[in-house]
Structure 1
Amino acid sequence: MQNFSFHNPCQIEFGAGQISKLSTLIAADARILLLYGGGSIKHNGVYDAVAAALSQHHWQAFSGIEPNPEYETLMRAVRFAREQQLDFVLAVGGGSVIDGAKFVAAAIPHEGDCWQIIGNRVALKTALPIGVVLTLPATGSESNFAAVISRRETNDKLSFKNPLVFPQFAILDPKTTMTLPARQIGNGVVDAFVHTTEQYLSYPADARVQDRLAEGILQTLIEVGPQTLAEPNDYPARANLMWAANQALFGMVGLGQPQDWATHAMGHELTMLHGLDHAQTLAIILPALWRYRFAAKQAKLAQYGRRVWQLSGSDKVIAQAAIEKTEDFFQRMGLPTRLSAYQLDAHLVADGVAAQLTRHGRVKLGEHLDLTPDDCRAILLTAD
């Protein structure tokens, strides 16, 4: 196991009815910027519950944060907050709203070009405090310090990380997820699944606790993903899905582990170039990457196959079957695993993603830092 440091200051309030705690979680004199997305929270009761909890607070809302939050939209929120002298950011939504809130919280007090925050190209001195009401379990962004922001005018989808943007608290009420469409549930399950495998499925590092945390999360997602699709009002399934998605990227799974993240690097470029949902790109790329890197990953694939899928046989046989099981699971969650399912030409996609990775300097990817843009091009060609 490799050396590591770990700290997570986010207070989590989990369970039905916890939105009411907003009144005590945010200081009475705070001036709140409430960020949300397309308006679904006004139809499922979440907006009203938040408004009731904040009835004694000063707050103003800014809506329209997109999936894959756009820099231009977020900068409008920054200007609005500055004009209104708001000093606390409350994200109500899924990972995109939360990622946007992290950028907004960092950008409001920032002097200079706010785009430099993305990619950690400038040191942050401060950020506004952040709180979260989660409505879509998927990214784990509600309790970590990472965010991914898009800028369509320059074809960029890039991340930044800074401990200053750790949310102070996150409210996770599984009931807020019960009206989500099947597509969003499928996306959330696959997103959480791949977050876990990016940290777990590289090569053995004798990180036994972390391995079993990862395997438990994966087994839970395999159980509750289809269950949630079949029984949308099953509260225990929703609760376990919400917690599994949180724990996938809470920070503990990857401690002391060699981590991959090449699937995400390629997926971000695929989303920016062709508009696929983030999880849709992951479902396409992950099995193809595993096959391309089969020899390097065989030991961990075999462990995954034995412990998560209860497969038996030789390491090679189990590893191959584990990839097939994973593909089948993604498809059962409603996500195809081939580019052709989206009428995308593999050569066009592969060339575009390789060029974008090169432009962004992502030329040494994977757990061994030996995966080049040409390798990524080859991987995508096999995902036709």
Structure 2
Amino acid sequence: MNFTYANSAQIFFGQGQIASVATAIDADAKVLVIYGGGSIKKNGVYDQVKEALSGHKWIEFSGVEPNPTVETLDKAVALAKSENVDFILAVGGGSVIDGSKYVAAAALYAGEGWDILERKYQVEKAIPIGAILTLPATGSETNMGAVVTKSATQTKLSFLSPAVLPRFAVLDPDVMKTLPERQLVNGLVDAWVHICEQYLTSPQGAMVQDGYAEALLKNLLVLAADFDNRDNDSWRANLMWTANQALNGLIGSGVSQDWSTHMIGHELTAMFGVDHARSLAIIQPSLMRNQIKYKKAKLEQMAVNVFGLSEGEDLSEACIQAIEAFYNGLDVQTSFADYEGTKDEAVDAVIAKLQGNGMLVIGENQSIDIATSRAIVAQAFA
């Protein structure tokens, strides 16, 4: 269990913390505020940001869509370059924060920004970033990863770099008050799978990582069971903090990680417009069953320590069924039927995309080749 772990992002957690931005950004920095479709102007967040930045020179860029596209983000890159921006403030959920990371990196690169996603350029420098989180789900506000889509080719890829780790993150649960129910559900599911990708691998004796992952998963079970009481300060705060801790690097330190559910799920989002979290719920149970040879021990551990199931002959399958019940209880489907043409044609299209994106062998054991991916997708598609 050898690892190096560091997370330098400063967190301002709690009600009224957006005001902290005033002192978190250097007074002489020129700030580019990046946000999405304008909901922050309806829920009061924009006004709080405006007040916090009243002593700064700042400009804004809006219109970053869910599953941010390089086509939109490159416009923000051009703005950042032409205005000589010193700092980027991302105000939104994971999509806005991911997109801002791309802008921060691409703005200091002379080539095409998409080179970053295709691994033709390794990001070593970026415009400093801060984040105001409005939708808890991805943990992007305190990690160094980002996912960007190229709509022209329906390609969704990711990149990692310490250079784009936000300098600070504001987590004010009050901003969740106006979120639609669907987005809160997506946050629960997204955080759940993030934890599973780092936990449902093989036993490695990492007591702290396993124990913390199990605590976070149990948090999400409690929050899901209490979903009817989601208009509650404690419920909001606990989801926001759990989702953050799910992917800040801690529970994945020193242990093997999977991420194959994400790699396949990304194709469903890029090709069929499936919400990111819901694409994961579609793929994960099928992938667990396909890879049960490798994941049996951890599924059994999860069954006992998270779901409280009794020891039994089919404990690993019982755990997968419990995961499906968790999703179904939130009205999230674990089978996909919203495709055109035949099932075979839809499966072929997904596999062709995986091949085109170089996802020829994935998973923590490199045990999911293209034929195995095909079997997983076929099982997940109705």
Q: Is this contact kept in 2: 1:120–1:161, CA < 8 A?
A: no
Q: CA deviation at 1:278?
A: 0.6
Deviates most, 193-202 or 339-348: 339-348
Cα distance in 2, alignment partners of residues 192 and 125 from structure 1: 28
Q: Is this contact kept in 1: 2:209–2:253, CA < 8 A?
A: yes
Structure 1 partner of 2:355: 358
**1:206–1:33 CA distance, 2 compared to 1 (3 A):** same
Structure 1 partner of 2:258: 260
Structure 1 partner of 2:236: 238
Q: TM-score, normalised on structure 1?
A: 0.96
**One-letter code aligned to 2:244:** N
Q: Is this contact kept in 2: 1:270–1:349, CA < 8 A?
A: no
Structure 2 partner of 1:85: 84
Deviates most, 111-120 or 208-217: 111-120
CA deviation profile, 1:291-339 (whole Å, cap 9, x unmatched): 111222111100000000000022x422111111111111122211111
Structure 2 partner of 1:106: 105
Structure 1 partner of 2:214: 215
Q: Is this contact kept in 2: 1:350–1:378, CA < 8 A?
A: no
Cα distance in 2, alignment partners of residues 165 and 65 from structure 1: 18
SS of the residue aligned with 1:340? Answer: coil
Structure 2 partner of 1:180: 179
Cα distance in 2, alignment partners of residues 32 and 226 from structure 1: 41
Cα distance in 2, alignment partners of residues 329 and 151 from structure 1: 32
Q: Is this contact kept in 1: 2:201–2:258, CA < 8 A?
A: yes
Task: Please tell me the root mean square deviation across aligned C-alpha atoms, in Å.
Answer: 1.3
Q: CA deviation at 1:126?
A: 1.8
CA deviation profile, 1:98-141 (whole Å, cap 9, x unmatched): 00000000111211222111143213342100000000000000
Structure 2 partner of 1:280: 278
Q: CA deviation at 1:344?
A: 8.0
Q: CA deviation at 1:353?
A: 1.7
Q: CA deviation at 1:260?
A: 0.9
Cα distance in 2, alignment partners of residues 96 and 333 from structure 1: 22
Q: CA deviation at 1:273?
A: 1.1
Q: How does 1:164-203 map to 2 (within 5 A)?
A: 164-203=163-202
Q: Is this contact kept in 1: 2:140–2:146, CA < 8 A?
A: yes
**One-letter code aligned to 2:129:** I
Cα distance in 1, alignment partners of residues 126 and 216 from structure 2: 32
Structure 2, gaps ≥5 residues long = none
| 1:251 aligns to 2:244 (yes or no) | no
Structure 1 partner of 2:308: 310
Q: CA deviation at 1:342?
A: 6.9
Cα distance in 1, alignment partners of residues 364 and 83 from structure 2: 45
Structure 1, gaps ≥5 residues long = none
Equivalent residues, number: 381
Deviates most, 148-157 or 134-143: 148-157
Cα distance in 2, alignment partners of residues 300 and 119 from structure 1: 33
Q: Is this contact kept in 2: 1:99–1:146, CA < 8 A?
A: yes
Cα distance in 2, alignment partners of residues 135 and 95 from structure 1: 9
Structure 1 partner of 2:72: 73
| 1:292 aligns to 2:290 (yes or no) | yes
Q: CA deviation at 1:56?
A: 1.0
SS of the residue aligned with 2:361? Answer: coil
What percentage of aligned pairs have identical amino acids?
48
Cα distance in 2, alignment partners of residues 59 and 274 from structure 1: 37
Structure 2 partner of 1:47: 46
CA deviation profile, 1:209-238 (whole Å, cap 9, x unmatched): 1001110110001111342x3123211111
Cα distance in 2, alignment partners of residues 346 and 46 from structure 1: 44
Cα distance in 1, alignment partners of residues 105 and 321 from structure 2: 42
Q: Is this contact kept in 1: 2:107–2:126, CA < 8 A?
A: yes
Q: Is this contact kept in 1: 2:13–2:172, CA < 8 A?
A: yes
**One-letter code aligned to 2:55:** Q
Cα distance in 2, alignment partners of residues 49 and 243 from structure 1: 21
CA deviation profile, 1:176-195 (whole Å, cap 9, x unmatched): 01111111011111010000
Q: How does 1:121-160 map to 2 (within 5 A)?
A: 121-160=120-159
CA deviation profile, 1:66-107 (whole Å, cap 9, x unmatched): 101000100001111222222110000000000000000011
Q: Is this contact kept in 2: 1:339–1:345, CA < 8 A?
A: no
| 1:324 aligns to 2:298 (yes or no) | no
Cα distance in 1, alignment partners of residues 186 and 165 from structure 2: 24
Deviates most, 339-348 or 173-182: 339-348
SS of the residue aligned with 1:217? Answer: helix
SS of the residue aligned with 2:204? Answer: coil
**1:273–1:129 CA distance, 2 compared to 1 (3 A):** same
Q: CA deviation at 1:6?
A: 1.1
Cα distance in 2, alignment partners of residues 354 and 141 from structure 1: 28
**1:23–1:344 CA distance, 2 compared to 1 (3 A):** farther
Q: TM-score, normalised on structure 2?
A: 0.97
Q: CA deviation at 1:341?
A: 6.3
CA deviation profile, 1:335-356 (whole Å, cap 9, x unmatched): 1111126788542332112111
Q: Point out 4+ residue stretches in structure 1 off by more than 6 angstroms.
A: 341-344
